[in-house]
Structure 1
Amino acid sequence: MTLMAGDATTKAAASSRLDSLTGLRFWAALAVVLYHLSRQGGELPGISDLTWYGRSGVTFFFILSGFVLAWTYDGKTVPASVFLWRRFARIWPLLAVSTVTSVAVWRVLGTDFSLRGVAATLGLVNSWIPERPYLVGGNPAAWSLSDEAWFYLIFPLLLTLPLMRNPRGRAVIAVAVCAGSVGVWLSGALFTDSLVRLWALDYFPPTRTLQFVLGVTAGLAVKRGWRPPCGLGAAVALVVAWHLVLIPWSDAVPDSVWYSPYSASQLLSAPFFALLVAAAATADVERRRTPFAGPGMVKLGQWSFAWYLFHEIVLRALLGAFGTPVGGLETFGIWATTLILSLALAAVAYHYLEHPLERLLRSRRPGGSARRPRPERSLIAGPGEFPPRS
């Protein structure tokens, strides 16, 4: 896989650590966690209103994935087999562990599950099939990794597109994918089957590719000298404002109709998240301090991939053991217990499973022969491919 050669601006930017992106990963994962708590564990006033569509954090992760991969591999020549092996080593070991854990919890609770769905999840193909047993798979949160696997396959091809090689071409791509996202959302009116519509707009990898491509475009642009039109504070404000707009929209339109904010929250939020990622990366390149780049935030960001994969399993186990909460106090208890236990489990999983297993697999060539791993300088502190890492 031959990637585009970098210029002086590219080389200067490549030396920067993007710690703010690592910290932002925690907040995106938190939005997804609070989304599941609100929908499954009971509502808490205020917090549930703001995070009722926190699943849009997945959109952030897809954009971030494209951004970081473009930032990391632009100007480098990497064999496709090595690139794909690195991606496999990054996401699959913890996917396998979390899937086994999820199935074990289902077995203990006496809940039926699909073995074909489990196999599709482990094979990273479950989001291609518009059937619920496949979409929830062995671990309901793992559908996004099926989309990520698709992104990895097409990433080398994206960097060969002529339009990616100049600012005007990248601008054309950015406008096209944003317009395409609006078009995809409007296409919801064409689906009469709600499950098929949900799959086509929210799970189907080609649909989500628009967000990944926007991330790749933004990553190349920032690395090559482009700067977003707003600062980090303004970008954060735009993301928050977008989710505030969804509150009255949700009160007026039920999620069951195509023009509800459910799919809109994920498809139409892409430009806001792209600005946020670009602004945070720009702040790091320019050595400006941000609230997302501190050691504590970086550590939480490192745990976010494991947190994303395990939090729903912990919530499901607690609801199975104690039942659906009744009243605000019980709901708060479920929320607090889920947050504490799942984050602690994520920390353990990162330090003793995710990171060691990735290092072990990366130390071996794609053909199976072992070799001593060479130290790499990580542009984003610590792993996280959903969220990503080089």
Structure 2
Amino acid sequence: MTSPDPAAARPGRLDSLTGLRWWAALLVFGEHVAALRLGTRVGEEDERGPADDVLHFLFGTGTIGVSCFFILSGFVLAWTYRPETDTLGRFWQRRFAKIYPVYFVSTVLAFVMFAGMGQVPGAGNVALHLVLLQSWTPDQSVYFGLNPVTWSLSCEAFFYLILPFLFLGLRRLRPAGLYAVAAGAVVLSFVLPYTVGELVRLPYPEEEIISTAPVGGPFAYWFTYVFPLFRALEFAAGAAVALLVRSGRWRGPRVPAALAVCAAGWLANLALPPRLQHEAGTFLPFVLLIAALAVADLDGGWSPLRGRRMRFLGEISYCLYVFQLLLLAVVAGGLRPALAAAGLLADADAALPTWLVGPVVLACLLLCTTAAWAAYRWIEKPMMRRLRPRTPAAPEAPVSARTPA
């Protein structure tokens, strides 16, 4: 006996999940701005100023924001997908219209930036990026080769490809089976980095964009962070929990308790070995929070992420995610020389005063948010209208939360 088909159950808007996307993007932004080490003199790799210590504590494991995105992606796509009223072509066309135009523009900008520095990326590298296959090779010069953050969109493209088939498999399961899928994914996120991640040893390249020594080398880093099949654990868990919520079979904490679990998970994650910090430590807490926010939206319960401003920030979060590292690279190249020329720093390599780091970080966030709004307004929205399927699909449950990329 199969479980009741969740496709017909519990329609509703999930505005809080749109708001959550902003906080996930903010974690990634924070991780990148902390990596600038604004409060530390250039070249002092073993030192960190007081302001940088604070940023490192808050955002040193900010890559968990990507994990939140992947779980959200599985949840929202499984929540909205209706195989009885939609075709594979229409589904994939909508996902292409959502992510590819902004992705393409960011890739072109990254290529221009590299070319302007005299470092023209190879044709093979560019080709892999254009077809969203860069994350399938364990080579940093490829998966981080243009706009580094877009490796995750290579994973998302894979998730979009498999979602219709994953959905059909998951909805055949009873509630106990769906719980087992979610729990098994969490367990594997702890186990696989110490099994499969140890089976292959790749030689360290002469130069690495991100040091892989703390996680066991180039293969272990790629496998535990970038490899689409491994990251599909989060996507599958999100999809399984969405079907539980849709069928009314989910049993989990309410929003206040889920937020407390996330805070505890974040602190616990800081103490885990580096190879587990990308997803394992906060995997279950994020699953619980996403489900709790969805239930709160359906039942009219309390949620701090449902307001109009949070929804707006969530709407532009994809563009914030895609463009923020390119903008921060420009800031990193020009900020200290500009401050030195203005007499605020002793030289172009000097550390920023502690009191100045906070305002500079906020200014960077404002810059990136403004650019994200502009990209959303003039690239994402108009291209979605132009590229999405012309003929509307059959009516489905109204859901405002769009899939994070």
Mark yes or no: TM-score above 0.5: yes
Tell me by how many angstroms 1:86 deviates.
1.2
SS in 1 for 2:74: helix
Asked if the contact 1:41/1:315 (under 8 Å) is kept, the reply is no
Aligned to 1:183: 191
Question: Equivalent pairs: percent with the same residue?
Answer: 33
2:225–2:231 contact (8 Å) kept in structure 1: yes
**Match of residue 135 from structure 1:** 143
Which of 63, 81, 87 is residue 79 of structure 1 equivalent to?
87
Aligned residues of 2:14 and 2:297 also touching (Cα < 8 A): yes
Distance 1:297 1:319, change over 3 A: same
Residues 1:344 and 1:104: Cα distance change in structure 2 (over 3 Å)? same
**Shift in Å, 1:107:** 3.2
Find the counterpart in structure 1 of residue 240 from structure 2. 217
What's 1:353 paired with? 379
- 1:48 is displaced (CA, Å) by 2.5
Partner residue, 2:334: 321
CA distance in 2, matches of 1:175, 1:232: 20
Shift in alpha-carbon separation, 1:283–1:75, aligned structure 2, 3 A: farther
Report what 2:45 is aligned to.
none
Q: Name the residue aligned to 2:293.
A: 280
Give the 3-state SS of the residue equivalent to 2:279 in structure 1: helix
TM-score (norm 2): 0.83
Decide which of 243, 267, 279 is 1:266's aligned counterpart: 279
Contact 2:186/2:283, CA 8 A, preserved across alignment: yes
CA distance in structure 2 between the aligned counterparts of 1:181 and 1:21, rounded to whole angstroms: 23
Alpha-carbon distance change, 57 to 338 in structure 1, aligned in 2, over 3 angstroms: same
1:37 aligns with 2:69: no
Aligned residues: 364
Deviates more, 1:232-241 or 1:204-213: 232-241
Aligned partner of 1:254 in structure 2 is none
CA contact (8 A) 1:22 1:380 kept: no
Kept in 1: contact 2:3–2:173 (CA 8 A): no
Unaligned runs of 5+ in 1: 251-259, 364-370
The answer to whether the 8 A contact 1:185-1:264 is kept is no
Change (3 A) 1:318 1:119: same
Question: What displacement does 1:162 show?
Answer: 6.2
User: 2:19 aligned to 10, 18, 23, which one?
Assistant: 23
Unaligned runs of 5+ residues in structure 2 are 39-50, 203-216, 337-348
Distance in 1, matches of 2:314 and 2:118, equals: 34
CA distance in 1, matches of 2:403, 2:163: 18
**Structure whose alpha-carbon radius of gyration is higher:** 2
SS in 1 for 2:376: helix
CA contact (8 A) 1:174 1:217 kept: yes
For 2:146 and 2:246, the matched residues in 1 are separated by 38
Pair 1:204 & 2:227 matched:
yes
Distance 2:177 2:61 in 1: 33
**Alpha-carbon distance in 1 for matches of 2:200, 2:226:** 15
Amino acid aligned to 2:58 = L
Deviation at 1:191, TM superposition (A): 4.5
- 4+ long deviations beyond 6 Å: 374-378
> Which of 52, 56, 64 in structure 2 is aligned with 1:48?
56
Please state how far the C-alpha of 1:384 moved relative to its aligned partner: 4.7
Aligned-residue RMSD, C-alpha: 2.5
Amino acid in structure 2 at the alignment position of 1:32: V
1:173 corresponds to which of 170, 177, 181: 181
* Inter-CA distance 345–6: structure 2 relative to 1 (3 Å threshold): farther
SS of equivalent to 1:168: helix
Deviation at 1:294, TM superposition (A): 0.1
**What's the CA shift for 1:381?**
2.8
For 2:361, give the aligned amino acid.
W
Does the C-alpha gap of structure 1 residues 224 and 303 become closer, same or farther in structure 2, counting only changes over 3 Å? same
